Amino acid sequence: SLCGALPEHVAIRQANSAKKKLNTLRVKTDVKPIVADPKPVSPGSFVCIWAEGDNVFLGADSLGARGKPSETVGEEAAKKMVQEVRSGAHLDRHTGDHMILPASLAEGSSVFRTSLITLHTLTAIEIAKVFTDAKFKVDGREGEAGTIRVEGIGFRNKG
């Protein structure tokens, strides 16, 4: 939880709210409220949460806004993380999108489960097909969790 050009209690309240919601997962949480240093020109806050494990990379966040209670910011980020974890996926929706290109260039097969197949995911696949001739199989539909299988082209750097 981070805030800048705002009182320290904003970051603390956001962090405590996120931790309270994350406790529903019954996992170890490490919460760190941080005040930006040096002080930024304009005020702002956010909460960024990530979970790491064996082949698991999940993230969630929420931005503060004028008039938005600090507790809401923390709870929003934590609710997103709870959804990510409960999806049973290896990767969150954004990390899954970013794996499309490297998987298409890699040698052999890559398989991963993403918490949400987004339009961005499907667009990245179509673009990767055009540029790499990689083969993709998507098990799932847009707006749902899904598994993506990629037969990469085995690109090798000539350097």
Per-residue pLDDT tens digits for 12-50: 999 999 999 999 888 778 888 898 999 899 999 999 999
For residues 10 and 70, is the Cβ–Cβ distance under 8 A? Answer: yes
Burial grade of 99 (CB within 10 A; 0-12, 13-18, 19 or more): buried
Say what the pLDDT of residue 25 is: 85
- Which residue bears the tokens 């290109």? 101
- Enumerate residues 6+ apart whose C-beta is below 8 A from 13: 70, 71, 74
What is the spatial distance between Cα 153 and Cα 135, in angstroms, rounded to a whole number? 9
120 an active-site residue?
Answer: yes
pLDDT tens string, the chain, 159 residues long: the values are 999 999 999 999 999 999 999 998 887 788 888 989 998 999 999 999 999 889 999 999 999 999 999 999 999 999 999 999 999 999 999 999 999 999 999 999 999 999 999 999 999 999 999 999 999 999 999 999 999 999 999 999 887
